[in-house]
Structure 1
Amino acid sequence: MQFTQDVYYPEQGEEWERRKPVDVGMDADSLNEAVHYAQTIETAWPRKLRLHYTENERGESHPEVIGPIKDRGATNGLILRHGYIVAEWGETQRVDMTFSISKSYLSTMAGLALDRELIRDVHHPVRDYVNDGGFDSPHNAQITWHHLLQQTSEWEGTLWDKPHYADGQGEQGPDSPLQAPGSVFAYNDVRVNRLALSLLRIWRKPLPQLLKDNVMDPIGASNSWRWHGYRNSWLTIDGLKMQSVSGGGHWGGGVWISTRDHARFGYLFLRRGRWGERQILSERWIDLATTPCPVEPDYGYMWWLNTDRQLFPNAPETSFYALGAGRNVIWIEPENDLVVVVRWIDTDRADKLMKRVLAAVR
């Protein structure tokens, strides 16, 4: 996509320009139908999120919540076309937990590190950069940044009192044999948190402050978002106490943020890392982040992809997503220049919502 002076970028704050659907090539009636549908497909998750942890995750080997939890709001959302707001519903300024969308923010910190040559090559072993014992074993010594970002690392160990098999999403137990790094995909928050700690080691500054200074402030986000770790994820670097943040809300914590700030973040990626006159993230990183993993083609560097339209059949193959449990979605749709953020919808109906949004494009 060619960038011109005509590309719109919202100013800092809440003064975000709106356009009527017809003015950006969308049908108002079809768009209203999509919004109405979104409002009727709220997740069955309880508003009191502690109940979710109590009821759904008690069967895990290490279910103890070690990070903060916040009760959720109602379903809400926002649709951008060409950067302008064409639809908005619910409390889009409310700060909520966002679960695994946190991973896409974490991935972005790796992108910044690569752009600044703190990481020279994503295929370098992490042990070449991080010397804290986490990559000393013969197995872990093979792990690269690429493996951690694609969730194919098979990292073995315990972090913040959670062993690598503690996350039931990865479908591994204490006796499950480890595979060679890069050979299998396992969605695993312990290993994601190992990436977060490794990035903290090389940056030597808290990741939330780096995200604020280098991404969120430049794109005009609010100051209401927070990025939490765990009560036991504190360490001292260069004499300063810092918290290693979590890449999800599996045991609490993660990024807590509003729909509007999510939309800015998604729009940055729609614009291939550019915001106005500033290239915040390199286009090289956007390409790397959205390259399919060989053993899980629907996944990139902590962004979900729509390779062969397997993830969401009604969306274009070029779509990519930050997805969090609940369900929370940042949908980036380059073919039609759309960003759609929806919070707390039924997971099984997300594809039908996408179909309705695309039906409004003329």
Structure 2
Amino acid sequence: MTTLAQAISFAQAHESSWDRDATGKFGVHLNDPPPWNRLYGPIHSRGPASGVILREGKELVAWGEPDRADLTYSVAKMYLALLAGVAFDRGLLPDVNELIGKRLPGIGFDEGNNARITWKHLLQQTSEWQGTLWDIPDQADHYRAVTFGEPPAGKKGDARPLQAAGSYWEYNDVRINQLAFALLHLFQRSLPDVFREAIMRPVGASENWQWVGYDNAWVDIAGKRVQSVTGGTHWGGGMSVSARDQSLVGQMLLDDGMAGGKRVLSSEWIAQMRQPCDIAPYYGYLIWLNHERKIFPSLPASSFFGIGAGSSFTWVEPEHQLVVIVRWLDSAHADALFAQILEAAKQA
């Protein structure tokens, strides 16, 4: 029978192959074809394999450096989905099927296929948005291969014939950054400020986190110079946050939008986030779903995840009331580790 101590030892024995020093083998941009194989924003060195496990809201165990604010890469996409939920709950985004350009003209959703893009398309990564944002074109992430998605039919960075909005799924960080740009215009405020006010403080998180964009991603919003953040750290920037703070966000999701006896997000929005995309049923609103147990065969189908390169996982498991944060794991061993954690947590 696996114990939590054994599961932690397994995680530490299968640490990410990325160097701990950010000047070494570190980052997703290294895999891009030129000229996009460079950083456009800051990054920083990482800590050791780390994590936190909560059951029924109580911490069972933590390991590594759980209070260290570390880059979380594409888990930041999940945070953008939470911000969209804040906008939904406040009436700023009343209908995910609304055309973005109708509410926000002049920011890249006015012509051609871009004019047919809805919030839902961006949240499910089916928009096929075309353009250049912060000097990076959408083409940079054409034919992007991701560990838990379907393999692409072409070479990374080659121009791909674009499809109609809603008809093709592609993990594309330029389009995610375009979503962040749209949300910035929707709120008319810095997204980190909204996230702090609406999510992090209500769940009881620390102030030891930061969410930044690229060096050139500054715009005028409501008379102020504001940086538009990224939905990850593909080309730098992104969210640096501790595993413990991430666990509190995960617990809020497990508790259907509640934290500290108060509502943070509507249960309606969280239910929408967990609905499978029609053409990519392993994906919801910027979260990964264990639909038909295809991503992680060892885990219940109800499990859902924020997943970032490196690898970083926020795993929410409703059936057993678990929230698991795992940082800097070799993703090839994720299913095996999660199976050990699930077995051990049941006995703990």
1:300 is aligned to 2:313: no
CA separation of 1:118 and 1:32: change in aligned 2, threshold 3 A: same
- TM-superposed CA distance for 1:336, in Å, is 0.3
Q: Which residue of structure 1 aligns with residue 328 of structure 2?
A: 344
CA distance in 2, matches of 1:58, 1:181: 25
Query: What is the deviation of 1:131?
Result: 1.4
- Cα separation, 1, equivalents of 2:177 and 2:285: 14
SS at match of 1:287: helix
The answer as to whether partners of 1:166 and 1:173 remain within 8 angstroms in 2 is yes
Deviation at 1:175, TM superposition (A): 3.4
Q: 1:237-296 CA distances to partner (integer Å, 9 max, x unpaired)?
A: 121000000001000011100010010011010101101221110000110011111111
Structure 1 residues 182 and 61: CA distance shift in structure 2, 3 A? farther
5+ long unaligned stretches in structure 2:
146-151
* Secondary structure of residue in 1 paired with 2:212: strand
Q: 2:63 aligns with which of 89, 96, 108?
A: 89
**Are the counterparts in 1 of residues 29 and 36 from structure 2 also a CA contact under 8 Å?**
no
Residue of structure 2 equivalent to 1:271: 255
2:45 corresponds in structure 1 to 71
Map of 1:208-357 to 2, 5 A cutoff?
Answer: 208-357=192-341
Match in the other structure for 1:21: none
Shift, 1:49, TM fit: 2.5
| CA distance in 1: counterparts of 2:132 and 2:60, whole angstroms | 46
Residues 289-341 of structure 1 show CA distances to partners (whole Å, capped at 9, x for unaligned) of 11111111110000110000000000100000010000100100000000110
- Shift of the alpha carbon at 1:60? 4.5
SS at match of 2:196: helix
Query: Could you say if the C-alpha distance between residues 54 and 219 of structure 1 is closer, same or farther in structure 2, counting changes exceeding 3 Å?
Result: closer
What do residues 220-247 of structure 1 show as CA deviations (whole Å, max 9, x unaligned)? 1001100010111100012100000000
| Shift in alpha-carbon separation, 1:60–1:355, aligned structure 2, 3 A | farther
Aligned AA (2:248): R
Letter in 2 for 1:36: S
Q: Show the 5 A alignment for 1:48-127.
A: 48-51=21-24, 52-53=26-27, 56-127=30-101
Answering whether residue 23 of structure 2 is matched by residue 39 of structure 1, we say no
Amino acid at match of 2:62: E
C-alpha change, 1:222 and 1:55, in structure 2 (3 Å) is closer
Q: 1:345 to 1:192 in 2, by over 3 A?
A: same
Kept in 2, the 8 Å contact 1:60–1:167? The answer is no
TM-score by length of 2: 0.93
Once the two structures are TM-superposed, the CA of residue 63 in structure 1 deviates from its matched residue by 2.0
Tell whether the 8 Å contact from 1:77 to 1:342 is kept in structure 2 after alignment.
yes
1:37 Cα deviation from its structure 2 partner: 1.2
How many angstroms apart in 1 are the aligned matches of 2:44 and 2:169? 30
Amino acid at match of 2:4: L
Q: Where in structure 2 are the equivalents of 1:167-186 lying within 5 Å? A: 167=141, 169=144, 173=157, 175-186=159-170
Cα deviation, residue 36, structure 1: 1.6
How far has the Cα of 1:177 moved from its partner? Answer: 1.0
CA 1:208/1:309 → structure 2, altered by over 3 Å: closer, same or farther? same
Cα distance, 1:129 vs structure 2: 1.4
Identity %: 44
Query: Deviation per CA, 1:120-168, whole angstroms, max 9, x where unpaired?
Result: 1000000111112401112110000000000000000000000011125
Deviation of 1:80 after TM superposition, in Å, equals 0.6
1:355–1:61: structure 2 CA closer, same or farther, 3 Å change rule? same
Summarize the Cα distance change of 1:58–1:284 in structure 2 as closer, same or farther, 3 Å threshold.
closer
- Supply the RMSD in Å over aligned alpha carbons: 1.5
Matches of 2:51 and 2:28 in 1, distance apart? 27
The whole-number CA distance in structure 2 between the counterparts of 1:50 and 1:334 is: 39
Structure 2 distance, partners of 1:260, 1:62, is: 33
Q: What amino acid maps onto 1:255 in structure 2?
A: M
Residue of structure 1 aligned with 2:172, choices 164, 184, 188: 188
